[in-house]
């Protein structure tokens, strides 16, 4: 009697941020259960996929048991890389290094090199076939849903082909334990029955079972697996459990397949070939990726491998797909995860800054956002500011390097169209300038009941960069206009940002000039949104004089005529001193629940405003500075890998 082949692919996955000790415990629990399952069902064969860094957490005793299983032909290793690289979003060199490092870790710990490759979320890039072959990876595993509808029901394996290179491709059926089928045999027979191909070979099914490493409910994922193993044992005359390599060795592929660049975020979801447009409609993911690309390029340009090897290892964690997809428990939507990714990148940049021995600041004029226009990057030992002179001259990223913290990483959860990395006015950047009517109140600002009379917020500024012994700065000028009555009247805005030598001080200067013969009266406002980890827990407070306001960002807070105040967040371990020459009205917005759509507040928005009366041919100037100080950090790293 012809038996059909069933391959069980176990995929333990990190479903949320887990500290290292907890990760180690849950991985060891998983391995122990796997060993016990293989003892109970000696006929079963397992294919096990995991990244190298998770394998590193398994203790040597369990590792030796896994080695034994491999020697007996019960187990086959499958690789995702050292971490789980986002193939489509990461630089190819970095992904290659990640896979090669993962292979090395597997060889050292298991004594065997992995036989195949599985990209998490079925994130497939056909151009990687060549790389996978060169790494001696014998096949790739993707979700069955990635196949074209005409061949999706076929039960066998294919040859994936691209640019003359080919690789065996296995299509898997993914099962999550809460929705696992109760009638195992019925489910398997249904899949085999859907295959209408006239094929004399044994049919082949891959059951990809997802095992969460952090279990939220009491259901044990191994319960269903144990049930499935018993069912296979019971019907051993009908089904033969196999490892992937065994099946590929003994049977022919069904045919050729071209699978385009794609990703599958949800099971059974329609395949989206334009998923990048979806990703780039959010703030921050693009900035994270651009920073990753830049840091990777810098690391690859250095020949000293003693310096770069540990830094590359850190970078592998940042390119992990779980950090670069939207999600509540992890991913770039999660403030802690996002700031964790930034902190790793900032740490690497700090090491490179030290290596290059830069003193007294650096100015870079570069296409950081890779959108065809230059960004200006001012940096010194303590701070780094990314300025978009094309869109309102605002700061779209601000790193407090001494604390490895991106303070300008608050993001707007509502996607923007058309897709772009930042959208002027929507993205939560710093120094968004508006010219408002003098009667506007704090509540109007919060509710959006105002009209911007100026055209500076999204306008292009001309710039000059300066480097002196005192530090680095950028002067930006826009000859814009302001609406008075029905007419647009000329108004010039000069904006200066500077960093003082190697100190943690950001200075800013605004100069408004009235070149006309009319008098202008309006309210000048500038908006900054800070990403602070203490915000969701109400740990951010403001101090001015002897007064302290707790739980900043939870309700509308407005204060008038301030020249000195500070914001303290002990969770992030940072204190921001504000100092201005002219008294300003300061207002902090609460984060509305609708905007946050169930996730933690994404940033503390502050609006600094002041009434301006500009006589004909006169100027108005505002000078200020923000000093950043490190405090003892109360918060812990949520994902210590």
Residue 504, Cα to own-chain centre: how many angstroms?
26
Cβ–Cβ < 8 Å for 493, 512: yes
State yes or no: residue 417 binds another protein (CB under 8 A).
no
The C-alpha atoms of residue 178 and residue 188 are separated, in whole angstroms, by: 18
Nearer to another protein, 411 or 463 (CB): 463
What are the angstrom distances between the C-alpha of 517 and each of 490, 491, 618? 10, 11, 10
Q: Is the dihedral of CA 333, 339, 344, 349 positive or negative?
A: positive
State yes or no: residue 365 binds another protein (CB under 8 A).
yes
State yes or no: residue 364 binds another protein (CB under 8 A).
yes
Window of 221-229, 461-469, 476-484, 521-529 that interacts with another protein by CB under 8 A: 461-469
Backbone angles phi, psi at 265, to 5 degrees: -80, -40
Q: By CB under 8 A, what part of segment 373-412 binds another protein? A: 373-374
Q: Which residues pair with 50 in a beta bridge?
A: 79
Shortest Å distance, C-beta 473 to another protein: 10
CA neighbor of 258 nearest in space, from 243, 277, 273, 276: 273
Count of residues of this chain found to bind another protein when the rule CB under 8 A is applied: 22
State yes or no: residue 354 binds another protein (CB under 8 A).
no
Shortest Å distance, C-beta 362 to another protein: 4
**What is the crossing angle of helices 305-318 and 92-110, to 10°?**
100
Q: By CB under 8 A, what part of segment 463-522 binds another protein? A: 464-469, 472
State yes or no: residue 462 binds another protein (CB under 8 A).
no
State yes or no: residue 22 binds another protein (CB under 8 A).
no
Nearer to another protein, 104 or 466 (CB): 466
State yes or no: residue 372 binds another protein (CB under 8 A).
yes
The C-alpha atoms of residue 307 and residue 305 are separated, in whole angstroms, by: 5
Cβ–Cβ < 8 Å for 295, 377: no
Nearer to another protein, 360 or 590 (CB): 360
**DSSP E strands: which ranges in 114-220?**
116-117, 140-143, 157-162, 165-176, 204-212
State yes or no: residue 359 binds another protein (CB under 8 A).
yes
Shortest Å distance, C-beta 373 to another protein: 7
Query: Per-residue contact track with another protein, 554 to 593, x per CB under 8 A?
Result: ----------------------------------------
Shortest Å distance, C-beta 358 to another protein: 5
402: DSSP letter? G
Shortest Å distance, C-beta 374 to another protein: 6
Nearer to another protein, 29 or 353 (CB): 353
Shortest Å distance, C-beta 498 to another protein: 12
Window of 219-227, 243-251, 313-321, 360-368 that interacts with another protein by CB under 8 A: 360-368
Window of 193-201, 362-370, 400-408, 546-554 that interacts with another protein by CB under 8 A: 362-370
Q: Which residue do the tokens 């499935």 mark?
A: 228
What are the angstrom distances between the C-alpha of 81 and each of 52, 99, 219? 6, 4, 29
Nearer to another protein, 434 or 473 (CB): 473
The C-alpha atoms of residue 406 and residue 399 are separated, in whole angstroms, by: 4
Shortest Å distance, C-beta 313 to another protein: 26
Shortest Å distance, C-beta 478 to another protein: 17
Nearer to another protein, 42 or 372 (CB): 372
Nearer to another protein, 476 or 568 (CB): 476
Q: Which residues pair with 175 in a beta bridge?
A: 209
User: Is 274 exposed, middle or buried (CB count within 10 Å of its CB: 0-12, 13-18, 19+)?
Assistant: exposed
State yes or no: residue 134 binds another protein (CB under 8 A).
no
The C-alpha atoms of residue 225 and residue 533 are separated, in whole angstroms, by: 39
Window of 63-71, 259-267, 358-366, 544-552 that interacts with another protein by CB under 8 A: 358-366
State yes or no: residue 293 binds another protein (CB under 8 A).
no
Q: Out of 32, 219, 356, 447, which residue is the one contacting another protein (CB under 8 A)?
A: 356
Those residues with Cβ within 8 angstroms of residue 386's Cβ, 6 or more apart along the chain or in another chain: 368, 375, 376, 377, 395, 396, 397, 398
Q: Out of 366, 519, 561, 581, which residue is the one contacting another protein (CB under 8 A)?
A: 366
Shortest Å distance, C-beta 303 to another protein: 12
For 33-81, the three-class secondary structure string (H helix, E strand, C coil) is HHHHHHHHCCCCCEEEEECHHHHCCCCHHHHHHHHHHHHCCCEEEEECC
Backbone angles phi, psi at 441, to 5 degrees: -105, 170
State yes or no: residue 361 binds another protein (CB under 8 A).
yes
Residues of this chain that interact with another protein (CB under 8 A) are 356-367, 372-374, 464-469, 472
């Amino acid at each position: 009697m012809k038996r059909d082949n069933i391959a069980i692919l176990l995929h333990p996955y990190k479903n949320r941020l887990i500290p290292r000790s907890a990760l180690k415990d849950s991985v060891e629990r998983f391995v122990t259960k796997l060993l016990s399952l293989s003892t109970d069902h000696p006929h079963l064969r397992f294919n096990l996929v995991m990244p190298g860094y998770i394998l590193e957490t398994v203790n040597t005793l369990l590792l030796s048991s896994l080695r034994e299983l491999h020697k007996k032909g019960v187990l086959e290793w499958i690789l995702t890389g050292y971490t789980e690289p986002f193939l489509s979003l990461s630089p190819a060199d970095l992904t290659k290094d990640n896979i090669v490092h993962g292979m090395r870790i597997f060889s050292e710990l298991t004594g065997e090199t992995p036989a195949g490759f599985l990209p998490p979320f079925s994130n497939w890039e056909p151009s990687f076939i060549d790389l996978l072959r060169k790494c001696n990876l014998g096949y790739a595993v993707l979700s069955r849903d990635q196949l074209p509808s005409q061949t999706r029901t076929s039960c066998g394996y294919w040859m994936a082909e691209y640019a003359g290179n080919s690789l065996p491709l296995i299509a898997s059926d993914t099962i999550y334990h809460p929705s696992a089928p109760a009638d195992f045999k019925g489910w398997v027979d249904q899949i085999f029955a859907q295959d209408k191909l006239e094929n004399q070979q044994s049919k082949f099914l891959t059951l990809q079972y997802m095992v969460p490493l952090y279990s939220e409910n009491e259901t044990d994922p191994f319960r269903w697996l144990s049930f499935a193993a018993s069912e296979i044992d019971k019907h051993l005359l009908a089904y033969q459990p196999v490892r992937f390599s065994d099946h590929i060795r003994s049977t022919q592929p069904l045919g050729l397949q071209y699978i385009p660049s794609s990703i599958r975020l949800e099971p059974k979801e329609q395949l989206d070939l334009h998923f990048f447009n979806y990703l780039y409609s959010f703030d921050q993911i693009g900035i994270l990726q651009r920073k990753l690309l830049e840091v990777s390029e810098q690391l690859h340009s250095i020949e000293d491998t003693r310096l770069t090897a540990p830094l590359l290892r850190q970078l592998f964690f940042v390119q992990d797909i779980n950090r670069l997809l939207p999600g509540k428990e992890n991913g770039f939507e999660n403030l802690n995860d996002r700031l964790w990714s930034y902190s790793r990148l900032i740490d690497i940049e700090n090491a490179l800054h030290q290596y290059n021995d830069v003193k007294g600041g650096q100015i870079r004029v570069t296409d950081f956002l890779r959108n065809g226009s230059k960004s200006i990057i001012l940096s010194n030992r303590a701070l780094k500011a990314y300025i978009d002179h094309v869109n309102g001259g605002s700061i779209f990223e601000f790193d407090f390097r001494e604390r490895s913290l991106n303070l300008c990483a608050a993001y707007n959860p509502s996607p923007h169209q058309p897709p772009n990395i930042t959208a002027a006015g929507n993205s939560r950047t710093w120094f968004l300038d508006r010219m408002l009517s003098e009667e506007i109140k704090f509540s109007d600002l919060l509710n959006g009941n105002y009209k911007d009379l100026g055209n500076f917020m999204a306008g292009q500024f001309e710039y000059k960069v300066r480097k002196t012994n005192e530090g680095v700065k950028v002067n930006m000028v826009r000859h814009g206009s302001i609406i008075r009555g029905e007419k647009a009247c000329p108004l010039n805005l000069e904006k200066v940002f500077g960093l003082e030598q190697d100190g943690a001080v950001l200075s800013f200067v605004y100069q408004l000039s009235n070149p006309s013969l009319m008098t202008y009266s309006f309210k000048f406002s500038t908006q900054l949104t800070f990403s602070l980890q203490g915000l969701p827990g109400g740990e951010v407070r403001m101090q001015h004089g002897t007064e302290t306001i707790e739980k900043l960002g939870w309700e509308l807070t407005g204060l008038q005529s301030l020249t000195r105040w500070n914001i303290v967040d002990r969770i992030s371990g940072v204190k921001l001193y504000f100092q201005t020459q002219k008294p300003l009205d300061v207002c902090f917005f609460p984060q509305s629940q609708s905007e946050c759509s169930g996730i933690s507040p994404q940033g503390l928005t502050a609006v600094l405003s002041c009434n301006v009366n500009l006589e004909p041919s006169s100027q108005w100037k505002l000078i200020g500075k923000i000093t950043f100080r490190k405090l003892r950090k109360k918060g812990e790293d949520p994902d210590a890998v």
